[in-house]
């Protein structure tokens, strides 16, 4: 996911991981996870950050940056 747009995540569930390895010179390096109704569920720390055990069950979309 490299373009600043919202990506739909059909069928993603259970635990998994994410890595925010964005280039800080590209602007806001925080990703946002959205719920079914479009609400922000989580915002990652700025790059470089990792979560090896993230619950994807409530997440319906992701935007890698603002």
Q: Looking at the domain assignment, is residue 37 inside a domain? A: yes
Q: Which two tokens stand for residue 15?
A: 């635990």
Write out pLDDT tens, residues 14-42: 999 999 988 776 667 899 999 999 999 99
14 to each of 17, 25, 55, 56, 58, how far by Cα in Å? 10, 33, 6, 6, 9
Neighbours of 15 (CB within 10 A): 10
On average, the pLDDT of the chain sits at: 88
Total number of domains constituting the chain: 1
Q: Provide the domain limits for residue 45.
A: 7-63
Residues forming beta bridges with residue 42, ordered by sequence position:
33
Q: Which residues pair with 18 in a beta bridge?
A: 51
> For residue 2, is it within any domain?
no
Stated pTM of the model: 0.84
pLDDT of residue 34: 95
Look at residue 47 and tell me if it is in a domain: yes
Please tell me the distance from the alpha carbon of residue 41 to that of residue 30, in angstroms, as a whole number: 13
């Amino acid at each position: 996911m490299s373009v600043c747009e919202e990506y739909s995540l059909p069928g993603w569930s259970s635990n998994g991981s994410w890595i925010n390895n964005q280039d800080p010179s590209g602007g806001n390096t925080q990703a946002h996870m959205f719920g079914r109704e479009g609400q922000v569920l989580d915002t990652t720390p700025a790059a470089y950050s990792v979560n090896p055990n993230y619950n994807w069950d409530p997440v319906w979309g992701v935007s890698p940056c603002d």
